[in-house]
Amino acid sequence: MSGQLKEVRNRIKSIQSTQQITKAMKMVSAAKLRRAQDAILQMRPYAEKLQEMLQNIVSNTEGDIDMALAANRQVEKVLIVVITSDRGLCGAYNSNIIKLAKQTIREKYAAQYAKGHVEVLPIGKKAWEHFTKNGYKVNERFWNLFGHLSFEQVKAAAAVGLEGFVKGEYDAVEIVYSEFKNAATQRYKVEQFLPIAKVDNQGEGKGRKADFIYEPEKDALIAELMPKILNTQFFKAVLDAHASEHGARMTAMDKATDNAGELLRSLKIEYNRARQAAITTELTEIVSGAAALVG
């Protein structure tokens, strides 16, 4: 009986230690989430308006000038940008993004993958580890981007897709990431980065077609504007993923702390029952011994 009590006590101590760790991780993630959330909420309206403007420009100038970044070609070579986190302990966040990326390759680019023409650009250690171990063609230059997150670093990562598309190394560039909604909700999505999408005449695209007056020359202005807007779109996706990671980790640690509390309650009940049984057994032995002496 004493051995059973000791075992339960050790389990209680172990779970209490784990609960303290999960509480601390939740608080750290909450602090990081606040900064990441502020960054994406301030960035998103600006980025969405720029994207709408870019799609309008591409739609309205179609055929007028040569726009290399909007060229629709037969898709032979593909770049998939997969944005995960560097660390785990954030629930199913990383596995959901990796699963969506693999599903996209399997359902949309199966023929290209069979020919070895699908390349993965992982951003985040978890994506890099998974796709490297599973034999995918991987560009390893920017997997640790979150270690020094800045617009310049993100711009350098976006240049892989931009320059590769212009040179014909890729015919399509897709970004797989998690769009931040709130601390408990993320939306996993695949977004076409290149070629630049056009506004749908049927009203299904983002925004409406609009006419623009260009000053100075149209071709010079568009050539300068396009890469800047695309860099902004890429940066928005990275900020979305960064906020989503901390939201997922905070939620996961909150649930882990609650689960530890439930387990502690059940173990304390088990411990009290075992202790009560031990006391009852001892009392029974004392009474039996006393009765034997009297007899």
Decide if 78 is catalytic: no
**Which 3 state secondary structure label does DSSP give 132?**
helix
What is the DSSP annotation of 215-280?
Answer: SS-HHHHHHHHHHHHHHHHHHHHHHHHHHHHHHHHHHHHHHHHHHHHHHHHHHHHHHHHHHHHHHH
Whether 161 and 237 have beta carbons less than 8 Å apart is answered as no
Label the pairing between strands 185-194 and 78-83. unpaired
Whether 161 and 168 have beta carbons less than 8 Å apart is answered as no
Q: Name the token pair of 286.
A: 């004392």
159: number of Cβ within 10 Å: 15
**Which 3 state secondary structure label does DSSP give 81?**
strand
φ/ψ (deg, to 5) at 22: -65, -35
Of 54, 90, 121, 183, the active-site residue reads 90
Q: Name the token pair of 156.
A: 């350098």
| Residues forming the active site | 90
